[in-house]
Amino acid sequence: MIRFFLTLLVVGSLYVVGYLNQDLTVSLQFFGGMETVPFRLYFIAIGIFLLGFLLSTFYFFPGWIRSILAGRKQSKRIEQLEIDLDRIRSAAAKEEAPPFIDTTP
Protein backbone atom coordinates (compact mmCIF):
# COMPACT_ATOMS: atom_id res chain seq x y z
CA MET A 1 0.00 0.00 0.00
CA ILE A 2 2.88 2.34 0.80
CA ARG A 3 4.45 1.51 -2.56
CA PHE A 4 1.22 2.50 -4.31
CA PHE A 5 1.12 5.89 -2.59
CA LEU A 6 4.79 6.55 -3.31
CA THR A 7 4.26 5.69 -6.97
CA LEU A 8 1.20 7.91 -7.06
CA LEU A 9 3.22 10.73 -5.48
CA VAL A 10 6.03 10.44 -8.03
CA VAL A 11 3.71 10.18 -11.02
CA GLY A 12 1.62 13.07 -9.72
CA SER A 13 4.75 15.18 -9.22
CA LEU A 14 5.88 14.43 -12.77
CA TYR A 15 2.46 15.41 -14.05
CA VAL A 16 2.48 18.70 -12.13
CA VAL A 17 6.01 19.54 -13.33
CA GLY A 18 5.00 18.77 -16.90
CA TYR A 19 1.80 20.80 -16.67
CA LEU A 20 3.41 23.84 -15.07
CA ASN A 21 6.36 23.86 -17.49
CA GLN A 22 4.62 23.25 -20.81
CA ASP A 23 6.08 26.35 -22.44
CA LEU A 24 9.69 26.02 -21.28
CA THR A 25 12.07 24.61 -23.87
CA VAL A 26 15.67 23.62 -23.31
CA SER A 27 18.50 22.68 -25.63
CA LEU A 28 21.64 20.89 -24.51
CA GLN A 29 25.02 22.32 -25.49
CA PHE A 30 27.99 20.02 -25.97
CA PHE A 31 31.72 20.62 -26.39
CA GLY A 32 32.68 21.99 -29.77
CA GLY A 33 29.61 24.19 -30.13
CA MET A 34 27.17 21.37 -30.89
CA GLU A 35 23.62 21.94 -29.69
CA THR A 36 20.53 19.73 -29.62
CA VAL A 37 17.13 20.59 -30.96
CA PRO A 38 15.08 22.42 -28.29
CA PHE A 39 12.72 20.17 -26.35
CA ARG A 40 10.32 20.63 -23.45
CA LEU A 41 11.66 20.79 -19.90
CA TYR A 42 9.32 18.14 -18.53
CA PHE A 43 10.91 15.60 -20.89
CA ILE A 44 14.09 16.04 -18.85
CA ALA A 45 12.24 15.33 -15.58
CA ILE A 46 10.57 12.23 -17.02
CA GLY A 47 13.83 11.07 -18.61
CA ILE A 48 15.78 11.45 -15.37
CA PHE A 49 13.08 9.55 -13.46
CA LEU A 50 13.14 6.70 -16.00
CA LEU A 51 16.94 6.62 -16.02
CA GLY A 52 17.02 6.41 -12.21
CA PHE A 53 14.42 3.64 -12.25
CA LEU A 54 16.40 1.70 -14.86
CA LEU A 55 19.72 2.06 -13.04
CA SER A 56 18.23 1.07 -9.68
CA THR A 57 16.62 -1.97 -11.31
CA PHE A 58 19.95 -3.08 -12.75
CA TYR A 59 21.64 -2.45 -9.40
CA PHE A 60 19.19 -4.43 -7.24
CA PHE A 61 18.25 -7.22 -9.69
CA PRO A 62 21.23 -9.57 -9.00
CA GLY A 63 20.70 -9.43 -5.22
CA TRP A 64 16.98 -10.07 -5.66
CA ILE A 65 17.68 -13.16 -7.79
CA ARG A 66 20.27 -14.40 -5.27
CA SER A 67 17.79 -14.08 -2.40
CA ILE A 68 15.12 -16.00 -4.35
CA LEU A 69 17.56 -18.81 -5.13
CA ALA A 70 18.78 -18.93 -1.51
CA GLY A 71 15.16 -19.13 -0.29
CA ARG A 72 14.45 -22.05 -2.61
CA LYS A 73 17.59 -23.83 -1.47
CA GLN A 74 16.66 -23.33 2.19
CA SER A 75 13.10 -24.56 1.57
CA LYS A 76 14.43 -27.76 0.01
CA ARG A 77 16.82 -28.21 2.94
CA ILE A 78 13.98 -27.73 5.44
CA GLU A 79 11.84 -30.32 3.63
CA GLN A 80 14.74 -32.82 3.70
CA LEU A 81 15.36 -32.21 7.41
CA GLU A 82 11.65 -32.68 8.20
CA ILE A 83 11.68 -36.01 6.34
CA ASP A 84 14.76 -37.08 8.29
CA LEU A 85 13.16 -35.99 11.59
CA ASP A 86 9.98 -37.97 10.88
CA ARG A 87 12.06 -41.05 10.02
CA ILE A 88 14.10 -40.72 13.23
CA ARG A 89 10.96 -40.22 15.36
CA SER A 90 9.26 -43.29 13.88
CA ALA A 91 12.40 -45.40 14.42
CA ALA A 92 12.69 -44.16 18.01
CA ALA A 93 9.01 -44.86 18.70
CA LYS A 94 9.38 -48.44 17.47
CA GLU A 95 12.45 -49.09 19.63
CA GLU A 96 11.16 -47.54 22.87
CA ALA A 97 7.65 -48.98 22.86
CA PRO A 98 7.41 -51.35 25.84
CA PRO A 99 5.64 -54.63 25.24
CA PHE A 100 2.06 -54.83 26.42
CA ILE A 101 1.72 -56.89 29.59
CA ASP A 102 -1.71 -57.73 30.91
CA THR A 103 -1.59 -57.49 34.70
CA THR A 104 -5.28 -57.98 35.48
CA PRO A 105 -6.02 -60.90 37.97
- Whether the full predicted model's pTM is greater than 0.75, yes or no, is no
pLDDT at 9: 92
Reading phi first (left if > 0) and then psi (alpha if -120 to 50, else beta), residue 78 is in alpha
Question: What are the extents of the domains in the chain?
Answer: 15-95
47, 35, 12, 39: which is closest to 23 by C-alpha? 39
pLDDT at 51: 93
Q: Which helix (H) or strand (E) holds 39?
A: strand 39-40
Q: pLDDT truncated to tens, each residue of the chain (105 aa)? A: 888 899 899 888 878 877 887 788 888 888 888 888 888 877 877 888 889 989 999 999 999 999 999 999 999 999 999 999 999 988 887 776 566 666 666
